[in-house]
Structure 1
Amino acid sequence: MKTSGNTIFISGGSAGIGLAFAKKLIAAGNKVIINGRSEDRLQKALKELDGATAIQGDLSVSADRIRIAKELTEQYPEVNIVINNAGAAFLNDLSDNANNAAEKAFQEINTNYLSVIDFTQLVLPHLLKQKEAAVVNVTSIAAFRGNKYLPTYSASKAALHSYTQGLRDTFEETPNLSIYEIYPPLVNTEFSAEIGGANGIPPSEVADELVLGLEKNQFDILVGESKTFSDKI
């Protein structure tokens, strides 16, 4: 797929991996629209992004998803790539009876899985009209194996991984739409600070791999330690 001249929407684009994606894709010659829940954080991010714009809203909320999809496709009719990057994660000790494991899991499943399905469905009719389009779902190394620290987050990413494979199969015979999945390992961001993110790779490394994967039409983009799970795809 071409890596320049696109108009790209990035959810969770005001910080971390999403912001790194935005910087890299702008440098490659693309127009970028970032999304996030906090207007203040969006405005701060825009100061680092030459020519980018933003749509504020919480994609985990149905009414916001509908509004964002409408605003995106009406104000940016040339949008042809959607990167589903926004996520939620909680440390979830399943041995602690006082821990509300199900509530944490509900928020993760809603944000990381169900909301992605719904938002993708809202924008797909528009993407299918483009000469060349793509959906990029950001899953995780955690999609391959859960752990005691993030068991329900891992489950939500495993669900997104399975959905992404099904979405790819569904549009396999649609030449103008490609479905990508990128699998970051532990990344040094504010999002992962609680689980030792300082030991992770820089977000820019994930962004570099994304652009390389798009260029090579590599639909499963393994990053860093995730490459050890290549036999699981």
Structure 2
Amino acid sequence: MSECHPDFSVFPPVESALTEPNGLLAQGGDLSVEWLLDAYCHGIFPWFNPGEPILWWSPDPRMVLLPADIRVTRSLAKRMRNGGFELRVDSAFADVMRACGAPREGAAGTWISEAMVAAYGRLFDAGYAHSVEIWHDGQLVGGLYGVAIGRMFYGESMFSRVPDASKIALVRLAQQLQQWEFGMIDCQMETSHLSSMGARTLPRAAFVARLAELVNLPHRPGPWTFDVPD
């Protein structure tokens, strides 16, 4: 399958997205592999609550993390060395998605419905979606999932059941992607947590221009195996 068609898309140009709410571009369509790949190739992602129409977004500015910019504090590095954690990749994709969608303190509901789990499961089966998992004593305690096309990674969500587990997953992902010469990790919306890890904002135009280069580099299909040292 050819991942990206830069001159064709079922979506409107991202420049036509609303400023309020920031980035709302379109509604409708479906969550097929073809629609999702078309969206990601053009800097667009789905985000909607169960029972709502499918909503597609391309916010401005865009939060991104360059793999080489990942920030590891001394305390986090010590926890990575001594915490007894085990890293696995692409071994429990659906479990990671459901953990990301589990109820959180102070949050009402989740956008990660079973329909989303099924849709991204199809992307996983097609070699585009990935999970980075942190295990401790045989239990899944943290991780993240996202989509990779070419040399571009799109982070979708992360979770922790013990302190720092999602941070460790992000650090290990960034270290591996740097070795594989990936150019960016899309973090979608700005948060102080991601800023503390080294992420920054880019104007949407700059993000889309860089994205167009990265998605057309050779694709690394899943399932992945990480080979950077712990």
Answer whether TM exceeds 0.5 for this pair: no
- Name which structure has the greater RCO, CA cutoff 8 Å, separation 6+: 2
Instruction: Give the structure with the higher percent strand.
Output: 2
| TM value normalised by structure 1 | 0.31
Instruction: Give the structure with the higher percent helix.
Output: 1
